[in-house]
Amino acid sequence: MVTMAHSSLIAILPGDGIGPEVTAEARRVLEALGLDLAFEEAPVGGAAYHQTGNPLPEATLDLAKRADAILFGSVGEPSCDALARHLRPEQAILGLRKELALFANLRPAKLFAGLEDASALRPEVARAIDLLIVRELNGDVYFGEKGMRTTDAGLRQGYDLMSYDEGEVRRIAIAGFAAAQRRRGKLCSVDKANVLETSQLWRDVVIEVAADYPDVALSHMYVDNAAMQLVRDPGQFDVIVTGNLFGDILSDQASMCVGSIGLLPSASLDEGGKGLYEPIHGSAPDIAGQGKANPCAAILSAALMLRHSLGQPAAADRIEAAVASALAAGHRTADLGGTCSTKAMGDAVLAAL
């Protein structure tokens, strides 16, 4: 974590689709705080591919490495769907995670007052949601060996290797236990240890790490049951720690439990606290450029950035309170059944700030 004794450099990587629209609102909120922040922007994803032939150009990666923190929009561009996998926009975020050693993804999910009706759950169930998913980012099937081949019978076969070593599991387990200590002291480790050797190692190592955190209550849950419990009784969860694939799926599910994927921020951290901050939603090309996107997840991601990488928890609290106030006052974008444009929602948060 950096101190604010000097101007902190924030790399803004807007990306594709609605990314530029929502990051613009997050930047407006950050600028309104009056902190000593400097901003530098660079292309990433499909936008970068169309400019340079590379979804993660060297200049963009250099900026990300120099910056104190990164505010990321989204990647994904239909015109790039036919490209070879290594040239697709999504490779940019995977590359940044790998090059910057971002291994811990924090995805909080909490219902904002007044949005009970937007949740897919009954109001009394949704009201209890206040959880944090800690997702491992550098292992699992996303980074394992993968490919296509033809079997002896002449059939096409795709394969993806799921693997973790104990060091990878240990460090994300430590991040999960530390997060639980800062919250309500409960950690649920989600795996599929009844079927997968990878998950058996995961469970074994998490149990070993638990010995160093006697103040945290540890439980284990299979991922299929966890998906069910997120709908049945989400209030039972405090912190969930899980692997890359399961965390990706469960955090998107949690977004609908709180009303919209447009509300959920995320932080991806290295071991020193430097991070990349992004809304968990995608590029939404169907509404890009129309001013319909909800900027709240990007704005809340900026709050996480202030808290985890820039040493400004009070400023983070201000942003979160302003988003809550704007929503409580009835300001809504289309995903929440309202009529606010992206900029109008940003204006409402700024007014509350």
Annotated binding site for substrate: 97, 107, 135, 224
* Selected catalytic residue, list 142, 222, 343, 347: 142
Name residue, tokens 């009394």.
124
68 as an active site residue: the answer is no
* Selected catalytic residue, list 68, 192, 277, 335: 192
252 as an active site residue: the answer is yes
214: tokens are 């006697």
* Selected catalytic residue, list 165, 204, 212, 224: 224
The residue count for the chain: 353
The separation between the first and the last C-alpha atoms of the chain, rounded to the nearest angstrom, is 25
224 as an active site residue: the answer is yes
Q: Of 98, 109, 32, 40, which is closest to residue 69 (Cα–Cα)?
A: 40
Contact 279, 286 (CB under 8 A): no
328 Cα distance to chain centroid: 24
- Sort 217 into a burial class: Cβ within 10 Å, 0-12 / 13-18 / 19+: middle
Kindly state the helix (H) or strand (E) to which residue 37 belongs, with its residue range: strand 37-41
Q: How far apart are CA 78 and CA 72, in angstroms?
A: 19
- The binding site for NAD(+) consists of 282-294
277 as an active site residue: the answer is no
What's the longest Cα–Cα distance across the chain? 66
* Selected catalytic residue, list 248, 274, 277, 335: 248
Phi/psi for 275 (5° steps) reads: -145, 165
Neighbouring C-alpha atoms within 13 Å toward the C-beta of 234: 30
233 as an active site residue: the answer is no
* Selected catalytic residue, list 110, 186, 252, 347: 252
User: In sequence order, which residues have a C-beta less than 8 Å from that of residue 107 and are 6 or more positions away?
Assistant: 132, 133, 134, 135, 247, 251, 254, 264, 265, 266, 280
User: In sequence order, which residues have a C-beta less than 8 Å from that of residue 328 and are 6 or more positions away?
Assistant: 112, 113, 114
Q: Which residues of 127-143 are buried (b: 16+ CB within 10 A; e: fewer)?
A: bebbbbbbbbbbbbbbb
- The binding site for Mg(2+) consists of 224, 248, 252
293 Cα distance to chain centroid: 17
Residues annotated catalytic, as ranges: 142, 192, 224, 248, 252
